[in-house]
Structure 1
């Protein structure tokens, strides 16, 4: 098993990515607008859950908690990132979600906007809310510096009215890029990089060692003027030598996509049968010239958190939007459930009829609103065996079952065998090959 002082960075190569193709096992079902959105007041997109140290969904007095990037639903969907705030929702059944409020009081968090992160309910009941601080508080114009931060010290309480998460919070910047392991924004600007990333902190405790890690999205420094090299996405990792959720030391990246892809977003790990499944969503427009990818969830597998990682399904493709709905969902998040892995996402743009996302911005405002989902998408069921995966079922919109809960009654699910809808080849509905 690799250790921090001996691992070599894994590679997602152009050879892997050049073979990307949609297959029956990797294409998600078409999503149609739900009868009712989780929130009429807010656009919702990147979503994660309150988890325990072991990665399981935390349950507090019968409630589970979801955190979402959000903005007023009166904003044009394409402008939502400019006012993003983290808000939380809670549920007793993992289907019906109630709005709790913003996780931080206005003006308390770092940055002018809050981007994606993760949330830990520690063994002593303390909440650690990890997030990306984009820009700077009270800046007159939006800037795009990104810092990995945490709000520590929150508590969860419940009463007859529901669930509440409250401070006081101690806000801190955990670490910043050094320009050696991870590219700085100044380096990216100087080298005309397409998109700069240093964000999306994800807490992970290794079940094999009990050590605590923080995964994050970043870019590798480059010294080559070749434009292909500016596509330099990587998955970074930091270690807490003390186990303190606020004390982190960045290590070398565990995987890079140099010359392949610029953005390996929201990296996270699911451990299953002793193997480490590393997942990351990415966009079709962030692939390097000469490569054709998708808005999709990509994945890799290894025998330890440090690798070496190999791409799942030979290319890395795990969940792709259908060809006729290429932007219907995004920001997939995988989590374990019994013998299978469940995958959540948000309902993005639909009914585009061949339009690109750039084209959407040219539509009348009413059409931009109509074609944006802005709510939780149906949860997918994923079979996993070794280095292979297959989408085999679908749950309700935003359905998040606890480990001990049966995912759904059979009549609420679409089973997907290799020949289309129906059972798998053996008539089984289990989560493994």
Structure 2
């Protein structure tokens, strides 16, 4: 059998059959988002763009916290797929869709509370608050569909149907852009049009995803019932991953929140440099998706040898991507900063922090990789505990000690946090070898 870097070429191909479509979708979504922003940005007053930006931040935060629905579904379905248990795949999919729809309806009912909490935290000007409130209130009508889309993505990835998952992500953004043009440019609905377009995109993609699930899982009306035993397993997984996601989001948000203490220039600098993390995630997330699906399948088959095989192969690619990112940032980091901003003071100041970004891929890729392993093994408790460990014994102490270095202290805390996550996850797996069985 022909081999490459010590592994069969066919196995490399299997990794990228899953990873490449998700990398493409990760690239396509922001590009389509730029079109979305450009449409709003050409309205006559900047307040409309600001309102959409503020509203999208609130919605994005909520949906980021809900990513546990995608992860838990991938974990369960990948193992069911490996065990060739179609009944379990159906039960978990129905349970996940029910839970997503229920949480989505709850978000609609809690709209006043979401708005009140948002404005307590951000305190925008009254005119901006009114427009952003309209945007958020409309967007939340798409919450059931948006959360069900996360479940659908999880099922597709667990079944290694990453091409369909890619098209689902692209379809969501494409519909959003098309309806944006119609409602904002033609009908002049402005902020309300942007919100309606996003909600419409979420619902249309949800219907497409449900259609694909119905065909893939051969779902019939008689399958639409809950399995309480598996629902409890799903709830436990979701709870653990929610705590993990919330902890991660709070640590990341600190990069902006505490930068305000050092001056507006550092807020702008960190906003620019955090885009480097977005670039890193484009590739590393794709590898992580492959880890989840392949390790989960092998776990479901009861093949510990294949679990270890896929762990080794995907780790190789994670390391290669990390080295490539570091070399790119070393060679072109300053050029990337200039592409993101043309404000001289931000460019000059950001250059002082560029060395952190040059080493960050080499340190941070471990946490991306191990997240994929933990999800594939359905070890949500290990994900939660290692995340809390890294935040409490990594991020917080380094942030506290590094305050004397101001913004460098923040980047030290973030780098140490990512390193601690990878180390803690590796130690946890070493101490729990039975999870690979």
Shorter-normalised TM range: under 0.3
TM norm structure 1: 0.27
Structure with bigger helix share is 2
Structure with greater contact order relative to length (CA < 8 Å, sep ≥ 6): 2
Structure with bigger strand share is 1
TM norm structure 2: 0.27
